[in-house]
Chains A and B, each alone.
Chain A
Amino acid sequence: MPANHVELAIVGAGPAGLAAALEAKAAGVDAVVFDENEQPGGQIFRQPPASFRVVDKSRMGRDYTRGRRLLEAVAAADIRIENGVTVWNVAPDHLACYRDDRSWNIKSDAIILATGAYDRPVPLPGWTLPGVFTSGGVQTLLKSQRVLAGRRVLLAGTGPLNLVLANQLAEAGADVVAVLELANPNLFELMPMAMGPWELLFDGIDYVTQLARRKIPLMRGWTLLEARGTDQVEAAVIGRVDRDWRTIKGSERTLDVDTICLGYGLVPSTELSRLIGCAHRYDAQLGGWIPTHDRYRETSIQSVFVAGDGSGVAGSLVAMEEGRLAGLRAAWRLQKIDDSSFHHKAAPILKRLHQLGRFRTVLDGLSAPRPGLFERMTDDTVICRCEEASYGDCRKAVSEGAVSLMELKPSLRAGMGMCQSRICGPTLVEVVARLTGRPQEAIAPFSVRPPVKPIPMSALLNQDAAE
């Protein structure tokens, strides 16, 4: 049985969590990282399974190389990582873990939540057909499992992930029909990016150049309107959009495809920060509802910190810096380093975050959801995949007086299914805001209750007595 007390519990072994662990450990903190996956790395640095042998690193992509560097540093520092563990409950002084049909509690003096993010779900007709995947899901299959999700592939949405994935799919042998990018910025809007940081700018230019070399059309100002097929995807109806991402009538075209990747940016995973009781705020550019925190990543609860995409989507480079900062601040809270040592180490991290932030602000501004994004649903379109509540059902509930997500539950069961509102929640905030004419920040997210992910009842019966 794992030790039942740690100084610092870190939830999430992605770039933020691992960077936090490295800093904390270097400062002398007894830190343990908990992660649901079989191996550390999170989504962006996801590695092939341990039983696979990489024989040609050059084929594994840039994230593989960046991830290896971080994972090797973590291995060298002898950081304890508990993989395959679902953290299903959390309080400021402990967390509840689940693995292998067993549940147990860990007491901790400080907690860093580095829970990451997932692809923003955007309902449209046909989006539940087999063959319509999130871009993140297709990339995970590709880079970790080395499995191609389809042959004739269309990518749609917004943001850099689709550009990266299109190249990876083509490299692996898929026929990439096109990348549809909602944003259609003019040069003036992109100008601030020229101030750097350079590596991000070069990454972006490289993705676009590679697409051109492979003759994959990058169609700016276009998007997916509908996926068609009987048992699976057979065709995609696409169309042009205006600056508000509303469909321009008459521009529709149909493409024959067997696979569609939807990448509309990411939504932060905030279940644990909400459950623990941190204050949250709504920020459309950073992905929706996010935990508030001070300059050094401490939340409204003392000794509870947040870092990475789970506290506002900003990508892996930002996540690592935020993780380092949170790890250092936690060490300071645990009195492992003094004030001057903390500030000495934090200064360069803050400077780097400032540089990265400038670049991200432009990117986020281009990719943050615009009104047209949620206008492709018809009354029949499923919003809640678990309970199969449709846009029409929501419209009816609102017309009968519902003004909050809570009030959708009794008639729709939306948010009460197995995903616990992760998929329908972000859309329902938008839908209810639009239908009631209120701002998104007035629409509170669904409340979170433990267990935050489904765990078998037998595990609760097998629960070790809390200390």
Chain B
Amino acid sequence: MTTTNTSARIDSGIQRGAQFRITIDGESIIAFEGETVAAALIAAGHRTLRYSTKRKEPRSLYCGIGVCQECRMMIDGVINTRACMTPARAGMTVKTQHGIGEY
């Protein structure tokens, strides 16, 4: 897992929805109602969302609009779920996907 302190939520101009927690590979992070899973992870400095199948390289959000499929993760037990298109929900379990994903 790659963490950085390179990203942040912007608080000016906006009031977020209710705050809750989700877990990423067992670690608890905060998220807000209306945020996508990808936004919550990136705001927490968690950039690597999956590892590619053949080269086992780290991959992150790329297109951010549901087209490229790079942000596929295991979300609440479902593999190949796009983190950029999935709204975060309280108590959600998110796991870094390795290759095509395993159950």
Contacts and interface: CB of A to CB of B under 8 A. Distances in A.
B75 to A, nearest CB: 13
A97 to B, nearest CB: 16
Interface in B30-64: 32-36, 38-39, 42-43, 47-49, 52-55, 57-64
Contacts of B52: 128, 385, 388
B23 interface: no
Contacts of A121: 68
B2 A49 contact: no
Most A CB contacts (10 A, CB to CB) among B13, B57, B78, B84 go to: B13
Interface string B10-24: 111111111000000
Interface in A114-156: 118-119, 121, 128-134, 136-138, 140-142, 145-152
B64 A419 contact: no
B29 interface: no
Classify the secondary structure of A's interface with B: loop
Interface residues of B, number: 52
Classify the secondary structure of B's interface with A: loop
Contact of A419 (B10, B17, B32, B68): B68
Nearest to A259: B6
Given A55-B13, A118-B65, A173-B10, A232 B4 contact: yes
Given A54-B13, A136-B65, A418-B72, A149 B7 contact: yes
B62 A134 contact: yes
Contact of A423 (B8, B39, B68): B68
Most A CB contacts (10 A, CB to CB) among B38, B57, B64 go to: B64
A424 B78 CA distance: 26
Nearest to B13: A59
A172 interface: yes
Interface string A44-60: 00001111111111111
A439 interface: no
B15 A147 contact: no
A445 B57 CA distance: 28
Given A130-B48, A418-B80, A137 B63 contact: yes
Interface of A: 36-38, 43, 48-60, 118-119, 121, 128-134, 136-138, 140-142, 145-152, 172-173, 231-232, 258-259, 269, 382, 385-388, 417-419, 422-423, 453-454, 456
15 contacts: A36-B66, A49-B17, A51-B16, A52-B32, A147-B9, A149-B42, A151-B6, A152-B6, A231-B2, A231-B58, A269-B67, A382-B55, A387-B54, A388-B54, A454-B69
Interface of B: 2, 4-18, 32-36, 38-39, 42-43, 47-49, 52-55, 57-70, 72, 78, 80, 84-85, 87
